[in-house]
Amino acid sequence: MKKTLPTIHLKLSWLWYLPALFIDFMICYPLLRWTIRRSKGIKFDAVVDTGIIAHQLVTFCIWGTVCYFLVNKDDYGVIYLVPAVFTLGCVMFSIYAV
C-alpha cells in the first residue's frame, strides 16, 4: 500500500476525468445547494447554511491536505497548490458573501 499509493495516479492516468469529476462535484455541491436555497427564496437558516459552509471548508481542507502531501515533486505543493487553493477559497467566499 505504501509503495503503490504515491504512484497510483500514474497507473490511472487514462482515467483522469473520473477523479476530476468527483473532486469538482465535492467542491461545487455546497455552492449549488446554497444557490438553490437562495433562488427559491428560502431565508438564511443558521443551522443549514452554516452546515453548507462548514461542508465547503472541510472539503477544501481535506482536499488541500491530501493534494499537498501527494504533490511533493519539485515543491509544487507550495509553489502552485497553496496559491490555487487560496484563490479558489477567495472566489467561493466572495460568492457566498454576495
The string of pLDDT tens digits covering residues 14-32 is: 777 777 788 778 878 888 8
The angle that helices 46-70 and 17-39 make with each other, rounded to 10 degrees, is 160
Pick from 48, 50, 60: nearest CA to 89: 60
Cβ contact 26:63 at 8 Å: yes
pLDDT tens for 63-98 read 878 777 777 677 777 777 778 878 888 887 887 777
Residues 6+ apart with CB under 8 A from 13: none
Place of cell 488541500: 64
**Is pLDDT of 1 > 60?**
no
23-58 per-position pLDDT tens digit: 778 878 888 888 888 889 888 888 888 888 888 888
What's the one-letter identity of residue 15?
L
